[in-house]
Amino acid sequence: MNIMKTDTARHIALIIGVFISSIFSVSCNKEETKNIKTFNNPILIDGADPYVYLHTDGFYYSMVSRGDKLQLWKSSSFTNLADAETKEIWYPPKTGENSCCIWAPEIHYYDNTWYIYYSATDKDNPVDLSRHVFVLRNTSDNPFDESWEDLGKIETKYPGIDGHIFEHNGIRYFAYSPYIESQSGINLAKLVSPTTIEQEINLGLPMYEWEKTPPREILEGPQFLEGPKDKVFIIYSAGACWDDNYGLGLFSANAKDDLLNPNSWTRSTEQVFGQCPDSSVFGPGHNCFTKSPDGTEDWIVYHGKPLSSDKCSERSMRAQAFSWNYNGVPIFGEPISLTTKIPEPSGL
């Protein structure tokens, strides 16, 4: 599972091309690989808040924030959405609590059913305290079928966004970013039904300077990651999408510990993935994780901006492989320049 332990020419090229900056402490990944199939970021120009799900049928199902609808891509490679099957599969109601600002959708498949978790608010009152996570269900085999059922919102303790579900040791969990007074944090709960949670806890609120972007201090976009050893992680985005310094932080816990005990988790004091001005990568964050088609590589998918700005616009979907250190902690390296050729995921 650890690409750093392979000795194939392909993986050596990937290590050189993707991690050259972290290995030799040079400027932000400008090496290019040769004689192998490659791609360039971005994967999708308009690609904020990307999510990629690898299904048992061998296809990747991808989503990004579209604001006024939900759009789905299906492809054999998440790095080539230009040739993917795509469809606008759902539109919000004209009025009501989920009628506006359709953000951060995630598609999942469990109990032989498709689900989409997404953030939304009321167009007549589009403020933070009206934002919630909502759920759609589709019982057909094909998620492109237009039979999505609106199950309503998850009754969380606080209003919030960026709902994420995962399963660990036979238990399903729900994580999201709640609005708690002037801050946004990361909360975790047990998912007992598609729309019902219990035992909701707070993992943390902004506490470091790199997590505090005025006017609101924000932690958001929680994503679960299982390590190759005895650790599990929740990676989160901190700062704000309009801030160049928007980047990733990390909570870690022992895999056998009670994940709903806040004391089980420790927290990184510094960013684990951040901007690289030398490569014109700003505000990288709101990520997800997936595997290469053959299951041998771990990939991080995220959005970033090509120019320094104080806006959330121009966020594009990008991807790169990552590795693990000897303790089983992820090493994401530096975000890769749009001019760098990246080896395609293994198994294509």
- Give catalytic residues, as residue numbers: 49, 220
If DSSP states are collapsed to H, E and C, what string results for 251-266? EEEECCCCCCCHHHCE
Q: Which residue has the tokens 């972290």?
A: 22
> In Å, how far from its chain's centre is CA 149?
24
CA–CA distance, 217 with 205 (Å, rounded to integer): 8
Q: What's phi and psi for 272, nearest 5 deg?
A: -105, -5
| DSSP 8-state code for residue 329 | -
Query: Cα(140)–Cα(196) distance, rounded to whole angstroms?
Result: 22
| Inter-residue contact 53 to 64 (CB < 8 Å) | no
Provide the CA 339 distance to its chain's centre, in angstroms.
Answer: 23
Give me the long-range contacts of 250-255 (CB less than 8 A, separation at least 24): 250/330, 251/186, 251/203, 251/204, 252/329, 254/230, 255/168, 255/169, 255/226, 255/227, 255/230, 255/231
CB 340 within 8 Å of CB 75: no
151, 194 in Cβ contact below 8 A?
Answer: yes
- C-alpha pair distances (Å), 303 with each of 23, 40, 78: 24, 14, 14
